[in-house]
Structure 1
Amino acid sequence: MSSSDIFTGEVIGTAVLILLGAGVCAAVTLKRSKAQNAGWLAITFGWGFAVLTGAYISAGVSGAHLNPAVTLGLAIQGGTEWSDVPLYLASQLLGAMIGAALVWVAYYGQFRAHLSDPEIISTPGPEGMVDERLEPQAGPVLGIFSTGPEIRNAVQNLLTEIIATVVLVLAILTQGLNDEGKGLGVLGVLITALVVVGIGLSLGGPTGYAINPVRDLGPRIVHALVPMANKGGSDWGYAWIPVVGPLIGGALAGGLYELAFA
Structure 2
Amino acid sequence: MEYSLFTKLAAEFIGTAVLMVFGNGAVANVELKNTKGHHAGWLTIAMGYGFGVMFPVLMFGGVSGAHINPAMTLAQAINGMFPWDEVLPYIIAQLLGALVGQLIVFVTYYPHYRDTEEAEAIFGTFSTTDAYNSKVNYFVNEFFGTLMLVLGALCCLSLPWGAANPAAASIVVGFIVWGLVTSMGGPTGPGLNPARDLMPRLLHQLLPIPHKGSSRWGEAWIPVVAPILGAIVGAWLFCMLFA
Normalised TM-score (structure 1):
0.85
Q: Which residue of 2 aligns with 1:213?
A: 194
Matched, 1:22 2:24: yes
Residues 100-130 of structure 1, C-alpha deviations (whole Å, 9 max, x = no match): 0000100111111224xxxx4xxxx5xxxxx
Q: What is the alpha-carbon distance in structure 2 between the residues aligned to residue 177 and residue 221 of structure 1?
A: 34
Q: Which residue of 2 aligns with 1:108?
A: 110
How far is 1:171 from its partner? 0.8
Q: Which residue of 2 aligns with 1:80?
A: 82
How far is 1:178 from its partner? 9.1
Tell whether the 8 Å contact from 1:76 to 1:251 is kept in structure 2 after alignment: yes
Q: What is the alpha-carbon distance in structure 1 between the residues aligned to residue 53 and residue 236 of structure 2?
A: 24
Tell me how large the CA RMSD over aligned residues is.
Answer: 1.9
Pick from 125, 149, 163 the counterpart of residue 130 of structure 2: 149
Q: Closer, same or farther in 2 for the Cα pair 1:176/1:61, shift >3 Å?
A: closer
Q: What is the alpha-carbon distance in structure 2 between the residues aligned to residue 253 and residue 178 of structure 1?
A: 15
Q: What is the alpha-carbon distance in structure 1 between the residues aligned to residue 155 and residue 74 of structure 2?
A: 15
Q: What is the alpha-carbon distance in structure 1 between the residues aligned to residue 24 and residue 39 of structure 2?
A: 15
Q: Which residue of 2 aligns with 1:165?
A: 146
Pick from 25, 31, 34 the counterpart of residue 36 of structure 2: 34
Pick from 95, 98, 101 the counterpart of residue 97 of structure 2: 95
How far is 1:176 from its partner? 4.2
Find the structure with the greater CA-based Rg: 1
Residues 59-81 of structure 1, C-alpha deviations (whole Å, 9 max, x = no match): 23211110112112322343311
Tell whether the 8 Å contact from 1:97 to 1:222 is kept in structure 2 after alignment: yes
For 1:247-258, what aligned pairs fall within 5 Å after superposition?
Answer: 247-258=228-239
The size of the alignment, in residue pairs, is 238
Q: Secondary structure at the match of 1:141?
A: helix
Tell whether the 8 Å contact from 1:79 to 1:177 is kept in structure 2 after alignment: no
Q: Which residue of 2 aligns with 1:194?
A: 175
Q: What is the alpha-carbon distance in structure 2 between the residues aligned to residue 89 and residue 243 of structure 1?
A: 12
Q: Secondary structure at the match of 2:156?
A: coil
Tell whether the 8 Å contact from 1:165 to 1:211 is kept in structure 2 after alignment: yes
Tell whether the 8 Å contact from 1:77 to 1:257 is kept in structure 2 after alignment: no
How far is 1:208 from its partner? 1.0
Residues 38-92 of structure 1, C-alpha deviations (whole Å, 9 max, x = no match): 1111111111011112222222321111011211232234331111111111110
> Which one has a larger percent helix, Structure 1 or Structure 2?
2
Q: What is the alpha-carbon distance in structure 2 between the residues aligned to residue 114 and residue 151 of structure 1?
A: 23
Q: What is the alpha-carbon distance in structure 1 between the residues aligned to residue 9 and residue 72 of structure 2?
A: 16
Q: Secondary structure at the match of 1:250?
A: helix
Tell whether the 8 Å contact from 1:140 to 1:232 is kept in structure 2 after alignment: no
